[in-house]
Amino acid sequence: MANDGAFDQAAAERLLTEVFAPWVQDLKLSIERIEAKAAEPGAVLRMAFSDRLCREGGVISGQALMALADTAMVFAVSAASGAYRPMTTVDQTTHFLKPVSKADVLADARIARLGRTMAFGRVTILSAADNKPVAMVSSAYALL
């Protein structure tokens, strides 16, 4: 994807379909907002509820929530950078706060620091049913 200095909703939609693996696309993610010019640049993604994402008991699996957070950070780094650039996850620490079931989830990803070769951020994962946090994630990315 070309760097024209503006990572907006249209660029985010292209990124979602052109860069991510098919299994990530199977999560049925959608981009709620790209906030490139915010004090803390970031992105908000939605993962639609599906029984396929649930473990026993109808609770959305931690693996699905972690994949959502990791993906949301790619969009946040891209928003802060002004364009997508290749990156790889160096670290992701997830704290699960409470289970979520039968609801979409939102990932609000924010950049804490963007450097030349590294980016650091945090993601709050919220239940769309009540807007309460279900997980907190901190992460680091190597920018390639």
73-102 pLDDT, tens per residue?
999 999 999 999 999 999 999 999 999 999
DSSP state of 52: G
With a CB cutoff of 8 Å and minimum separation 6, the contacts of 91 are: 138, 139, 140
With a CB cutoff of 8 Å and minimum separation 6, the contacts of 126 are: 105, 106, 107, 108, 132, 133, 134
14-58 pLDDT, tens per residue?
999 999 999 999 999 999 999 998 889 999 999 999 999 999 999
CA terminus-to-terminus distance, the chain:
14
Quote the longest CA-to-CA distance of the chain.
Answer: 46
106-125 pLDDT, tens per residue?
999 999 999 999 999 999 99
Confidence of residue 3 (pLDDT cuts 50, 70, 90): very low
Give yes or no for residue 1 having a pLDDT over 60: no
CA–CA dist 34, 44 (Å, integer): 7
Give residue 5's pLDDT.
Answer: 60
CATH number 3.10.129.10 given to 9-143: yes
Give residue 6's pLDDT.
Answer: 84
Give yes or no for residue 2 having a pLDDT over 50: no
Give residue 55's pLDDT.
Answer: 95
